[in-house]
Amino acid sequence: MAEFQAEPAAPVRTATLWAVLATGVLSMLLLGDGLAVNLLLVAIPAALAAYFAAEAAGRRPRLWTLTWAIGGLALLIVPALRDADWPSFLAGVTAVALGSLALHGGRTWPAVLLGPIGVLNALVTGPTWGWRGLRERSGGGRGKLGVGLRALVVTAILLLVFGALFASADAAFADLLSDLVPDVSVSGVPKHVLLLVLGLAGSLAVAHTAAAPLRWDRVQVPAGRPRGRFEWALPLIVLTVLFAAFNAVQLAVLVGGYDTVLEKTDQTYAQYARQGFWQLLLVTLLTVLVIVFALRWAPRDGARDRTLVRGVLGTLCALALVVVASAVRRMDMYVGEYGLTRLRISVVAVELWLGLVIVLIMAAGVWGARWLPRAVAATAAAGVLAFGLMSPDAVIAERNVQRYADTGRFDLDYARDLSADAVPALDKLAEPLRSCALQSLADQLGEDASPWYATSWGEARARDILRDRPPSKGADWSVCADLGESTAYR
Instruction: Categorize the per-residue pLDDT at 186 as very low, low, confident or very high, splitting at 50, 70 and 90.
Output: very low
* Residues 170 and 61 reside in one and the same domain: yes
* Residues 94 and 242 reside in one and the same domain: no
* Residues 29 and 109 reside in one and the same domain: yes
pLDDT, position 332? 83
Q: DSSP labels for 386-454?
A: HHHHT-HHHHHHHHHHHHHHHHS-B-HHHHHTS-GGGHHHHTTSPTTHHHHHHHHHHHHHTSPPPPGGG
Is 106 inside any structural domain? yes
- Residue 292's Cβ-side half-sphere holds a number of Cα atoms within 13 Å equal to 10
Flag whether pLDDT at 486 surpasses 50. Answer: no
Domain edge (last residue) among 218, 238, 270 = 218
- 448: containing domain: 392-483
Is 490 inside any structural domain? no
Is 308 inside any structural domain? yes
The total number of structural domains in the chain stands at 3
Is 359 inside any structural domain? yes
DSSP state of 266: T
Out of 172-181, 264-273, 386-395, 444-453, the most confident range is 386-395
Whether omega before 471 lies within 30 degrees of 0, making that bond cis, reads: no
How far is it, in rounded angstroms, from Cα 107 to Cα 117?
A: 16
pLDDT, position 326? 83
Please state the rounded mean pLDDT for residues 304-318: 89
pLDDT, position 145? 56
* Residues 348 and 397 reside in one and the same domain: no
pLDDT, position 104? 87
pLDDT, position 405? 86
Is 27 inside any structural domain? yes
Is 479 inside any structural domain? yes
Percent of the chain with pLDDT over 90: 33
Q: Which residue has the higher pLDDT, 409 or 145?
A: 409
Flag whether pLDDT at 184 surpasses 70. Answer: no
pLDDT, position 276? 64
Q: Which residue has the higher pLDDT, 185 or 209?
A: 209
DSSP state of 183: -
* Residues 294 and 438 reside in one and the same domain: no
Neighbours of 125 (CB within 10 A): 16
Domain edge (last residue) among 388, 410, 427 = 388
Contacts of 337 (CB under 8 A, 6+ apart): 269, 270, 273
* Residues 396 and 382 reside in one and the same domain: no
Kindly report the three-state secondary structure assignment for every residue of the chain.
CHHHECCCCCCCCHHHHHHHHHHHHHHHHHCCCCCCHHHHHHHHHHHHHHHHHHHHCCCCCCHHHHHHHHHHHHHCHHHHHCCCHHHHHHHHHHHHHHHHHHHHCCCCHHHHHHHHHHHHHHHHHHHHHHHHHHHHHHHHHCCHHHHHHHHHHHHHHHHHHHHHHHHHHCHHHHHHHHHHCCCCCHHHHHHHHHHHHHHHHHHHHHHHHHHCCECHHHCCCCCCCCCCHHHHHHHHHHHHHHHHHHHHHHHHHHHHCHHHHHHHHCCCHHHHHHHHHHHHHHHHHHHHHHHHHHHHCCCCCCHHHHHHHHHHHHHHHHHHHHHHHHHHHHHHHHHHHHCCCHHHHHHHHHHHHHHHHHHHHHHHHHHCCCCHHHHHHHHHHHHHHHHHHCCHHHHHHHHHHHHHHHHCCECHHHHHCCCHHHHHHHCCCCCCHHHHHHHHHHHHHCCCCCCHHHCCHHHHHHHHHHHHCCCCCCCCHHHHHHHECCCCCC
* Residues 138 and 157 reside in one and the same domain: yes
**Contact status, residue 182 vs residue 29, Cβ threshold 8 Å:** yes
Is 489 inside any structural domain? no
Neighbours of 2 (CB within 10 A): 5
Could you read off the pLDDT of 356-369 as tens digits, one per residue? 999 999 998 888 88
* Residues 369 and 429 reside in one and the same domain: no
Q: Which residue has the higher pLDDT, 445 or 262?
A: 445
* Residues 207 and 286 reside in one and the same domain: no
What is the SS3 assignment for 112?
helix
Q: DSSP labels for 50-65?
A: HHHHHHHTT----HHH
* Residues 139 and 260 reside in one and the same domain: no
Q: What is the dihedral of CA 374, 342, 85, 122, to 10 degrees?
A: -30
Residue type, 256: G
Flag whether pLDDT at 177 surpasses 50. Answer: yes
Is 176 inside any structural domain? yes
Q: Which residue has the higher pLDDT, 118 or 396?
A: 396
Instruction: Categorize the per-residue pLDDT at 447 as very low, low, confident or very high, splitting at 50, 70 and 90.
Output: low
Averaged pLDDT score across all residues of the chain: 82
Instruction: Categorize the per-residue pLDDT at 66 as very low, low, confident or very high, splitting at 50, 70 and 90.
Output: very high
* Residues 420 and 321 reside in one and the same domain: no
**Contact status, residue 333 vs residue 344, Cβ threshold 8 Å:** no
pLDDT, position 39? 94
The residues with which 484 forms a beta bridge, in sequence order, are: 410
Please state the rounded mean pLDDT for residues 289-312: 86
Flag whether pLDDT at 489 surpasses 50. Answer: no
Domain edge (last residue) among 183, 218, 253 = 218
User: Which of these, 302, 380, 319, 301, lies nearest to 113 by C-alpha position?
Assistant: 380
Flag whether pLDDT at 484 surpasses 70. Answer: no
* Residues 99 and 209 reside in one and the same domain: yes
Percent of the chain with pLDDT over 70: 79
